Amino acid sequence: MKDFAVRLIRWHQRHGRHDLPWQNTTDSYRIWLSEVMLQQTQVATVIPYYRRFLERFPQLADLAAAPVDEVMALWSGLGYYARARNLHAAARAVMAQHNGIFPRDPDVIARLPGIGRSTANSIATFCFGAHAPILDGNVKRVLCRAFGIEGFPGSGTVQKRLWALAEELMPKRHAAIYNQAQMDLGAMVCTRSKPRCESCPLDDICVARATGRTAELPQAKPRREIPQRHATLLVLLDGDRVLLETRPPSGIWGGLLSLPELPDGADVQQWSEQRFACRVIAVTCPRSGSPGTQSEPAPTLVHAFSHFRLHITPLLLQVTRGHAAMEPGWQWLDLAEAGNAALPAPIRRILDTLQTSGSKPLLSRKR
């Protein structure tokens, strides 16, 4: 398709996005930050996080010098927390290995933590005028539809084919505008559901449109049953203070603060008293607010991760603390302060609900 790039570049001039907060700059730190935040996340969600991040860490060196907890706290609510840990690690790597200067070569950029080939190419194109194709989710969707490419785009063979096609389509000039145009077309016109083909610059040459297959392409990931996991989380309250624990660095919510998790089969009162050197005064079943038994099923909060669903059952424990030494990673925080900590979204929701409903919790919202 000879004029593919020309069509996109022309379309972008009139209809593309030109005023996003990370556009109209070639500052590698700002563009890199936006690229990482935009992975798996929509523009409207990213904008306030991006602004807050830059206010607190105006330069790459500020980010590298910050404690990781502070970075996680600012990222809190944006999800996919490995991105924040990798961002911080990459900032430190740039300081340590590249004298604080962001590398220009896409292959070198791609070796930094959390940056894949497409993100590296995108940064190199927007910041340094490189001539490098991109292949994010939006671009894959446009290419699969426009060229009628079968198969799940995440599979190795289809990816390989898409990269070859992306290389082939890359225009000799205006690489940055072309890459932005592809992203914008995927986000604004060739959307996942209900693409607006009548407004698309490819409408007369698109295979999916011509064959009525826009709903089938790109092909979905072969279905697998989503694993279901269950966790009982303990809201230990001593007056207005709640106990939070730092999660291990790897695994879900790695490095964030969370509520302690009751091991499978453990007696809630006995385990909590031993583990946290406290005396449990009451255990409350969330919906009823009734003390004691857990004889009625407690409501759960369902949180969807990319590869499983977590059913969270919160239990409220009123406790009095002993004088045992605190373990590293434990924090007793005022409920009112806890909202500023680095919390995963479901934990924040539990604590918010607790705060607004006093000690008569809690929640039954599913998502």
Contacts with ligand SF4, residue ranges (CB under 6 A): 142, 145-146, 189-190, 195, 197, 200, 202-203, 206, 208-209, 214
In sequence order, the 6+-apart residues with CB closer than 8 A to the CB of 230 are: 300, 310, 311, 313
35 is catalytic: yes
Least separation in angstroms between residue 147's CB and ligand SF4 is 9
Q: Which is nearer to ligand SF4, 35 or 136 (CB)?
A: 136
Radius of gyration in angstroms for the set of CA atoms belonging to the chain, rounded to a whole number: 24
Q: Could you tell me the maximum CA-CA distance found in the chain, to the nearest angstrom?
A: 75
Q: Which is nearer to ligand SF4, 140 or 145 (CB)?
A: 145
Degrees to nearest 5, angle at CA 159 with 155 and 165: 155
Site of tokens 């000690």 = 359
CB 244, CB 333: distance < 8 Å: yes
In this structure, is the dihedral angle defined by the CA atoms of residues 342, 347, 352 and 354, taken in order, positive or negative? negative
Least separation in angstroms between residue 197's CB and ligand SF4 is 3
Q: List C-alpha distances in Å: 323 to 240, 318, 351.
A: 18, 17, 25
Q: Which is nearer to ligand SF4, 130 or 208 (CB)?
A: 208
Quote the CA–CA distance of 298 and 130 in Å, as a whole number.
56
Least separation in angstroms between residue 9's CB and ligand SF4 is 15
In this structure, is the dihedral angle defined by the CA atoms of residues 266, 271, 272 and 273, taken in order, positive or negative? positive
Least separation in angstroms between residue 213's CB and ligand SF4 is 9
CB-neighbour burial class of residue 250 (10 A; exposed 0-12, middle 13-18, buried 19+): exposed
Least separation in angstroms between residue 196's CB and ligand SF4 is 6
Q: Which is nearer to ligand SF4, 188 or 277 (CB)?
A: 188
End-to-end distance of the chain based on CA atoms, in angstroms?
43
Q: Which of 35, 55, 70, 337 is catalytic?
A: 35
Least separation in angstroms between residue 135's CB and ligand SF4 is 15
Q: Which is nearer to ligand SF4, 91 or 146 (CB)?
A: 146
Quote the CA–CA distance of 345 and 367 in Å, as a whole number.
12
Q: Which is nearer to ligand SF4, 45 or 219 (CB)?
A: 219
Residues with catalytic annotation? 35
